[in-house]
Structures are given as structure tokens and as C-alpha cells.
Amino acid sequence: MILFGIFAAVLSGVLMSVQGVCNTAVSKTAGLWTTGVFVSLTAALVCFVIRVTGGNKEDFQMLWQVQPRYLLLGGLFGALITGTVVFGIARLGTAKAELVIVVSQLIAAYCIALGGWFGSEQEPFSWRKLLALAAALGGVVFYCI
């Protein structure tokens, strides 16, 4: 099962990079927020088709039971992610922007894990992990200069 998790994570990273480049190219013609609308509607349609045709028929009414309510802000975050990825790639180039994005994700994920925020499992502080993040951040600086 771990191997499938690693495969899914690698595929996710590749797809995020490809999506960012595609969205940036589209935004040069259609504009940033028009691109965001198109991307979001396309994603909603794909998710809806999978939900309707898939074996698992979750009930949309179950969303009203989600607590705390701020956990439902994923769509808002998705819109902001689309906009900031496109903006970053257009200003920094693909590789620099993606590197900054990934390292920022790692730092944010570690902070979330340390605090046990958003319903995640809290993990203890580790100097080894902090040093690894510092090395990654140093790599970003080294790469971007």
C-alpha cells in the first residue's frame, strides 16, 4: 500500500507541474481568472462524473455535517492556488516557481503536523526534519540566485 501512496504522490506532483504550465499558457490568452473558472468547472465536471458513475455514492448532504466548517474552504483554496501558481510561473519561470511551491508546501505541511491543525495527527518536533527543511530552503535560494 505504501508503494501505491508513493506512486500517487509522484503522479500528483507531476500533474501539478503540468497543470501549472498549461494554466499559465492558457491565461496568456484567456486571462488569469477566466482560466481559473475553466479549470475549476472542468475539475468539478470530472469529479461529478466520477461520483455519479463510480461505485461509491456519497451523499452531498453529508457536507453539512462537516465540523469545523472552515474545513469546507478547499474550493476557495483551490481558486487561490490556481491563481498564485499561474502568477508565480509567469513571473519566475516554471522550475523556479515549482521549486518554491514544493518547498513552501513542505514547510507548511510540517507546521500543520507540528500543531495538529485542521484535524491532522500531531507529530513531535524533530531537529532532523527542521534541518532537512532548512537544507531544502537553502536549495531554493541556491537554485534561484
Residue 59: the pLDDT is 78
Is 10 part of any domain?
yes
Q: 73 lies in a domain?
A: no
pLDDT at 145 (0 to 100):
87
Task: Classify residue 118: in a domain, yes or no.
Answer: yes
Asked if 55 and 103 sit in the same domain, the reply is no
Query: What is the end-to-end Cα distance of the chain in Å, rounded?
Result: 39
Estimate the crossing angle of helix 94-115 against helix 127-144, to 10 degrees: 160
> What HEC string does the chain produce?
CHHHHHHHHHHHHHHHHHHHHHHHHHHHHHCHHHHHHHHHHHHHHHHHHHHHHCCCCCCHHHHHHCCCHHHHHHHHHHHHHHHHHHHHHHHHCHHHHHHHHHHHHHHHHHHHHHHCHHHCCCCCCCHHHHHHHHHHHHHHHHHHC
Which pLDDT value is given to residue 54? Answer: 82
Residue 137, pLDDT score: 96
- pLDDT tens sequence across 15-56: 999 999 999 999 999 999 999 999 999 999 999 898 888 867
The per-residue pLDDT for 43 is 95
pLDDT recorded at residue 28: 96
Please check whether residues 109 and 88 belong to one and the same domain: no
Note whether 107 and 60 are same-domain residues.
no
pLDDT the model gives residue 142: 96
Domain ranges, residue 137: 93-145
pLDDT of res. 5: 94
pTM exceeding 0.85: yes
Model pLDDT for residues 60-115, shown as the tens digit of each residue: 888 899 999 999 999 999 999 999 999 999 999 999 999 999 999 999 999 999 99
Under 8 Å between Cβ of 82 and 16: no
Report how far Cα 86 is from the mean position of its chain's Cα atoms: 13
Tell me, yes or no, whether 1 and 48 share the same domain: yes
**What's the total number of domains in the chain?**
2
Residue 58 reports pLDDT greater than 80: no
Tell me the C-alpha distance between 40 and 11, whole Å.
20
pLDDT of residue 52: 85
